[in-house]
Every structure is written in C-alpha cells, then in structure tokens.
Structure 1
Amino acid sequence: MAEIDRCPVLLLTPSGRDFVVAQALLQTARIDAESCKDVPQLGTKLSDDVCCVIVADEALNGTDLAALAGWVSSQPPWSDLPFVVLTRRSGPDRRLMAERLTRTLGNVTFIERPFHPTTFVSVVETAVRGRNRQFEARARMRELHEGEAHLRIALTAGQLGSWSLDLATHALTASATYKAIFGRRESDSFTYEELLASAHREDRGRVQAAVALSAETGCDYAIEYRNVWQDGTEHWVDVRARVVRDDQVARLVGVCSDVTLRKTSEDQLRRVNESLEVKVLERTAQLEDAHRTVLEEIRQREHTENLLRQVQKLEMIGQLTGGIAHDFNNLLMAIMANLELVRKEVRPDERAGRLVDGALRGAQRGAALTQRLLAFARQQVLKVEPVHMPALVHGMADLLERSIDATIELSIDTPDQVPFTRVDTNQVELAILNLVVNARDAMPEGGTIQISVDTARSAGDSDLSAGEYVRVTVRDTGTGMDAATLAKATEPFFTTKEVGKGTGLGLSMIHGLARQLQGALRLDSTFGKGTCASLWLPVTSRPAVEKRIVDEPNDDGSADARQLRATILVVDDDPLILSSTSYLLQDLGQDVIEVASGEAALEILRTGQKIDVLLTDFSMPKMTGVELATAARTLRPLLPVILATGYAELPDGAGVDLPRLRKPYQQSRLLHEIRNAVEHPVSRQSEGQ
C-alpha cells in the first residue's frame, strides 16, 4: 500500500506562478508531483501507475488531444484516470470547453481559478484516493485470475474431471476430462440419462439413490461405482460433490476420478490375501489397522487444519466486507451508471455495444458478489415485518413434527396475548427449526422438546438492551453441555456432533441473526439434564399490515419516464456518484439539481425552489443523509426523501423510516423509486414509520 499511496501526480501548468503554487500545495499534502512542459510530454508520461493529472485549461486550448484521448480510451477495465482541470473561463466558452474535455479525457473535475488552497488539496486528495481504490481493484482481479489458474492446474495435475448437475432439470455440465473418464470424446454430448445408462446395472440404483439423498437432505454426494464404456469395458469411478444453492437453484458441483487401477489392485490383493495362511492374514490385519490409524490421524490433522483455515477466512471476510462494502458499491454504482448510459449511445449489434453489455454484466456480477460476501459475514439485508410469533410457531408445527423422531414428544405452548415483533419470517423459521433439530440430535434415546412463546423484560446488559422482548424458548431433556462446551457453543465451526454430521455454523448463524434483529440468543445447559435455548426478539407496537402492491420497475424505463416529470434534488459527496446519478435522471427527462453536501441541500430548500423528491446518500461528512432528511422535513414536512446507501445495514435507528435505494442501482430501479415517491408521497412516508 505504501507504494500505491506515493504514486505520482502529473502537473502541466504553463504559468510559472500556477506551477509553484500547485507544487507547494501538493508538497504540503505529501503528494508527489512531476512537471510536464507541454501536452506531448504529458502523453509520454501517462501510465497505469499515475495517480492523477492536474492541467491548466490554457495548456489544452488549441492543442491536439488525440494522443491523450487514445490513451484514455485504451485504459484497462479497472482504470479510470482522474484529470483535474484548472480553468478561468466562464459562459458558453467554458461549457463548450468542459464538454470537449469530458468527451476526450473521461474522468474530469474542474476547479475555477483563483481557487482556495483547501479546495485544491481536497479535490486532488479525493482523486488520489479514488485512484488507489482502482489499484486495489486491480490487485483483487489479479488474485482472482491467479486463483482460477491454480484451480485449473490442480484439476489437471490430479486428473480430475469437474461436473455439475441441476437437481431440478437434471441438466449435466461436464468437462473434457470428466467425459474421458466415462469413455466419451470432448465433442460428444453427455446427458444425465446417458450417464445413468452407462452405469453398471448392479450399481445404477445406488447412483440414483445417492443423487436423490443429496437433493433431499443437502448432504455431500460421494460414491464409487462401475461404468460400462461404449466398447463394453468396465471402469471404476470415484465421484464426489456438494449441493450448491444459488438463486433458488440447487446443483451438485464436484469432481470425478478414474480409480479402475486402484480397484483392480485392491481386488487382486484381496484374492492373494485369501490364499495366505491364517497367521499371515492376522499380521496383515494388524498392519492394515496400523495403516488405517495413521491415515485417520492424518485425516484428522488435515481436517483440523481445514477448520483453522476456514475460521481465518471467515474472520478476514468479516473484517473486510463491512469496511469495503460502501466504497466498492459506490465504485460499481459509477461504473454501472455510466455503462448503462453509454449502452444507449451505441447500437447493440456493434462491437462497442457488445463490449458495453459485457462490461455491464461484469459490474452486475461484482454487485452480486458483494451481496454474497455480506451474507456470508452475517451482514445480509433482512426483510423485517411485524409478526405474531405464536402464529408463526403454530404454522411450523407440521414441519417440526416431521423433523423429529417418533421417540420424541413435542410440546408447544404459545398464548395468543403475545405482542408483535419485527423479524424476518424465513430466517426466524430456519432458526427455530435449527434449534429443534439440535435438540433432537441431543436425545438419541428419545425425550421431550418443549417450545414456548412468552414476553420477558431485559434490564439491559452488554448483549441485550433494556426493554420488552418476545421470547421463543426451545427446551429439551437431552444430554446437555458442560461449562466448557457451552462457552464455545456459538463459535463458528464448533460442533459436538460426529464428523460429517455438523458444520458448527448453526448456533453461530442464529446468534448473528438475533444480533441483527436487535435481540439475543441465550443458552442454558447442564450436562446430563438438557439444554434451554432462548431467542429474544424486540417487541414492536406496529401490527401486521396488508401489503400494498407496487408496480415493479420494467427493464426499459422510457415509458415511465415519459409519464413522469419531476425536479429531483440529488445530494452526494462523491462527485462520481453525484454526476452518474444526475446523468441517469437527466437521460430520463427529469430536472436535476446537484449538490455535494447536506448544508448545500438545505440552502436550496430554504429558497422555496420547487423540489419534488430529495435523493440523498447516507454516508457524508458533517451531515449524514438521515440528518439531512430530518432537517429537510422540518422545512418541508411532506417532501419525499429517498436514502441511497452502499451499506448492507445502517446503524441502529438510522434511516428506518425512509425508503432505501441500495447501491449499485440501475436506471429502471432509480426511476421506480422516484415515481413511487412522487405518486405516493404520504403512503411511502407512512410505510417506513
């Protein structure tokens, strides 16, 4: 990072005083600067390692900028070199000059002379920070490419074939090595039906049963069986996979290897061993036992090392995602917005159109990757709504009954007088089911599981704020836990279950869910006497309301844009996001007023100027978006406010009464939120309160 932070800033100012002043300010800010005497020399010094270019407009006036434009257009996907232009022009000339430089240089920020030193340093530091984030993105892209290359090398070195199977449609995707293991050429089609047909008739049932078991329970798929090639020869394969769920689609993803030689060797060795004398067999058995013991010890050590690596990865991701989510989403916002506008300027069947579509899809995949990282770090966005917990538990009764053994008695006590609580219904149902399954596993000989719902009051402590809570309690008469086990129960990957029967993430994820809902998970257990797990959820005075159907945004917002004409006040301290959002709205025919701070927005509101919607970023210096919304509603109580944020979740009590537009957003979603705010100002405001 130290080398990145010290990357040079190129400076082109023909006026001697401008150069001296700018260089002095940059030295004060500890920013390295290299001077250029003219535009051709500037063009020769441009490189991917330059942080920023500061140039006076008179140096560009009347100069051929083709070389600069060519370099800018040939930047790699991660790069968007910022240009800071010092200008004295005003009126139509300035506008024409600004349009020309923006088209030519792309990422341009203008500073009007004479400028304040603080303004100059702030703009340059912002450009340098943005460039450093681009360098970080470059490093991450290189790491991903290296990881993919290593994976390909590992599969080739291990002679492993990769494959995936859609459990709903049974669509099979197989690599060339996988097809070769089953006696097929790379060009041959290979369907799941052909795969089953190639299995030995005595093993075919086991294959189908193993696939069905993994599809039903989500357990790992691991099997060795014989397959018959088209030439009639028999071969053994070892197939392993895991169930991966993505967007409600379940797939088996794994690898396959040819173990014919091993199985043949094992068969030959078995026949030889059967012919040996009893003493030789006994000695061989002893050696095999010792060998298995060593292998088990090695496997246990490898398993422990894998768990340690997983814990380290989880800790690293948990630290990184919360800190980089906002900046990464802002970066994707600027990329996606500009690409979406550029896409409208080129024909989709042209090469430029295809390139823009590819870049936009890549940015969208980056946004999806951010959300998956947030979900893994237990910072997922929850869909909370008022829920009557007794009704929720009773609705799960049939599912819970099917999840336990006949030797276990299930008792549910849920009085109707329990108040509402604001939760994510699906996540809480999964948490209760997880607690019941844990209780079931703790009673192999049978017992009783009691589920109760009541209210409790917390006096306030480090884990739970003072107040009223709805408490869901799952109590069992199982084996219980000692003090040492209880202290580690909610740690990631800690489990008391047998190897392969538990991930150790259940109680950890329930604990994280409770914390996100401003509640807590409390465990009380005595070894030999059972366990009591209590899920505390805060009480809400809001009853369940009938959901109002709101039109979803379509892919093309042009029709909605023609029906809507509004004046939107856009507030964002990031120039890239501010300009990108404004361009998106202007492209839809809306009137836009741009400001870079909350105070500037309030000044406009105080003038009485017509404003239909206030669209503000959440994270801004001096005044956050929530603070701005509060002040704006003091001036204009009925003004619709939309809060744009790149965070997965906001701090406690921040912005819960505001419609949220999560970055990065597309033009159709932006128009959808603006239209709802304009057409339903009262209802939209009341829904969040």
Structure 2
Amino acid sequence: MPHRQASSERALILALIGRDASIATALLAEAGIASVICRDLEELRARMAEGAGLAILTEEAVRTADLQPVSGWVASQPPWSDLPFILLTGRGGVERNPAAARLSKVLGNVTFLERPFHPTTLVSVVETALRGRRRQYEARARLEELHTREAELRDLNATLESRVAREIDERAVAEEALRQSQKMEAVGQLTGGVAHDFNNLLTIIRSSVDFLRRPNLPEARRARYMDAVSDTVDRAAKLTNQLLAFARRQALKPETFEVGACLSAVADMLDTVTGARIRVVLKVPEACCFIRCDRSQFETALVNMAVNARDAMDGEGTLTLKLTGDRPMPAIRGHAGSRSAFIAVSLHDTGTGIDAGDLARIFEPFFTTKEVGKGTGLGLSQVFGFAKQSGGDVEVASTLGEGTNFTLYLPQVDAPAVERQAGAPSAADSDGAGRRVLVVEDNVEVGRFATQILEDLGYATEWSTNAEAALERLGTAGAGFDAVFSDVVMPGMGGVALAEELRRRLPNLPVVLASGYSHVLAEEGSHGFELLHKPYSADQLSRVLCRVIANRPDIPVGITG
C-alpha cells in the first residue's frame, strides 16, 4: 500500500490510562485497520498533519488538557476535510455528559462511544468513520480534478485570448491596408478623372494661344480662338467647383428664398434642357416653403439631377418635380436622420432605372455609367456635396425598368424679413477713375497680374506681399486707399484675419477677398466680406470694386473709439 494511502487510512489513538490504547490497536488490527498510538496531544496534532483516517480519544486524555493545538488544526482543515473523532467516554454523550459538549465544539465531527463496549461495536464505528473519510478523499480528488481542469481552461482561455487578440490585430492591419488601398483607388480615380478633364481643357487653351500668337491671323479666327479660351476657362472653373462641392469645401453664399418659386423658374428652364419629348411636371404646395442655402448651387443641383434623368429616359418620358415641406429627414445610407423641419424636393423619372450594384457608387466623383463623352461623372457628386454642406442629404431609390427617384432634403427656415437693397454703382463708375486700391497677394505672378488688370481698369494700385506689410502700409488712417483687394490663403496672417482686423481698425475701408479655395471660407463663410472666386474676370473685379467703393460710408476713415 502506498505511504499516502496507508497514512490516510490509519487510526490515531490517544489513551493515556490503562490498556485502552493497546486493546484498541489489537481490535483494529484484527479488522485489518492500521493504527498509531500517540503519547500526547502534540504528537496527535503532528500525526494528523501527516495524514489520518480518524482519531480515537479517551475522555481522560483530553478532559483537562489544552486542546488549542488540536482545535487549531481542526479549524485549518481544507474545505473537503472533516476528520472524524471517536471519543471513548464513561458517562455517555452530550445528553448525560456536559463536558462532551465542549469537546464537540472543539473537535467538530465527534462520535461518542460509551464504555464498556463490545469489540464489534468499536470496529463498526471505526469502519463507519473510515467510509465517511474515504468519501471526503473522493471529494478531494474531484476538487483536485476540477482545479486541474480549471487551470487547463485558464491556460486554454489565455491561449485563445492571445490568439484572438493576435487575430484581431491582424484583422485590424488587414482592414487598414484595405482602407488605404480603397483610398488610393479613390484618389487614383479622382486624380485620373481630374487629369483627364484638365488636360482636355489645357489642350484647347494651349492650341488657341499658339494660333493667337500667329501674325496676320484673320480677325474672325482670332475672335473664335479668344472665345474658345474664355469658354474653356469657364469649364475649368465649373470643374473645380464641382470637385469642391463633392468634398464639401466650396465657399457657399447662403440666402433665404422661397423654394416653390425657385422650382417654377427651374422647371421652365428644364423644358429647354431636357428637350421637347420629355414632359416636365411640377407639383408644389400652396403654402410657401423657405430654405437658406446657396441658391445658385441649389439650382445647379436640380439641373444636374434633371440632366441625369433625361439621359436615363433616353430623351423621352416624364420628369416630375415635387416639393413638400415640414418633413423630418429619414436616416439615409446609415446616417442618422432628423426630426427637425426639412423641405424635400424629389425628381422622379420614367427611365431605365439604376442597377442595384451602381446605386452605392453613383455619388462618387467621376463614376458614370454613360458612354465616353456623355458625362464627366461629377454632376451627382456635386448634388451630394452641396446637400451635405448645406445641412441636408440626398436619397435615391430606383427599380430597373420603372425609373428613379432622387429626393433632396434641406433644412426649412422661417420666412425672411424684408431687407434693404444696397445701392448699385452708376454707369459713371464703370472704371477705376484713379481710385487707389491696395493689392495683398503673396504669389508674385498673381500679384503682378492683378495690379496690371486694375491699372488697365483705371485704378491706382500698390502691392503688398503679405497681410502684415499691408497693415503697416495702411497705418491708422488708411493711407488714402479707397479699397483693399486681398487673397485669402497666405503665409502668416490670412486674408480673412486681415479683413477682420481692418474692419476693427478701419471700419469704413471696404475689403474684397479673392480665393480659389479656402477651408476657412468653406467651413465658416466669407464673414460678411465681398468674395471673388478664382478664376475671376477683369469685368467681375471691376464691378465688385465699383460697388463696394460706391457703398462706402461718406465719413472720414480712421480709428473708432
């Protein structure tokens, strides 16, 4: 028998008087039960620590002894263990022996055996105690097995967590790589489309300029090439505006207007745009609906959607424009909707519809299902960008063979108060008439060209290459200048900051800003200053300067208190 099993099955005997210990040992030996006789309580505690099946004590051995060592061991047993004690007493159990109650509290699992007893009784009690002890060992074995499995599960869980964490990291890396790939693909598509369209435009300009440089060019051909350059510049400007609209980076000029009247004017224009075989139907409510946005961009968005519908109908069908007001905006393409009041302008066509696979891409720049030469793929991207930048969205629903419905949502506002119209410049103010303009431009070529244009228009100009130099030149009284014409994007202080500083220092000095693109203007607007979009014409620049100078308050320019 292994040592651990022999120790765990043995009986420990503590009987200090007479032959009780030797008799008990002999009786147990005949029953095949090993036993060990202990000399005192200290040895009993030590033997219990080594391992035991039960302990047999005589009342005389423990009646007056210090039981602290034994009680301490009993209290410190592991959860599975409850060592059985057999107490040999001459006065019965707790019913007739008050001292037995104290021993029950100290020892815990105690069986009282009153002397004299039959040898068979002792063996029977001991075997019963051992069976109970064996069940405790079985419980210990199950607990150890459970602890082992728990440890294995913890190790497995740690391994799985490590594997999952590693797979999550690998997935994150893969997703990031995919996003970067998609970004590069989108950038490639965008830059490719821009390069293609701009190279076409530059080809026209370059060829026209080459012909204009030829001597003795007939006047009719010269005019034709000049018109070609002018038209191409307008197309290039429109292209950049469409790109900025998609990116929601265009500088908008919001105004409040009634949508129904605007739709009526657009519907009349669409009869020409869509052709005679497409019937344009307009449905507007009797109640007025007002919105505040860039009216020109709003009308452009409607025209872009109408042209898309015309092409989908192959030039024949019905285009229905419908306006409804006081509507909440639904959730669109995963973006949250809004319970605020919106107007909804829907354009429904009876065309071929859009394939489900293309619906998710129709607002991407340069994506088009049209044949080469029949569309740039920027019309719907302008609609999308304008709607988003104006606080709304655009929804599309389509069924192949049944047509498509675009719905443009924009925030609805209250009717505007009547505003006083600013005075317009008179015919006499059509040129510069010697008025002094300070040009602020960091780009040398643009600055030199702007001053040349203004001088040709009759203005007297000076040129500062940055905002700080302009402030120093103007001083505290304006240095006799009638207006400031400044670029927006410059190193150091930008054009908007310069204009705001001049409004504080010299509130009567008008400022005109010019920009091809500025995130400040796109996000915050023009801050109340006149704004020219590049590329601008000489006539546009002259008209704006004439207007702001004509509307300048006729009071001395200087520092206000």
TM-score bin, normalised by smaller chain: 0.3 to 0.5
TM-score, length-normalised on structure 2?
Answer: 0.45
TM-score, length-normalised on structure 1?
Answer: 0.38
Q: Whose Rg is larger?
A: 2
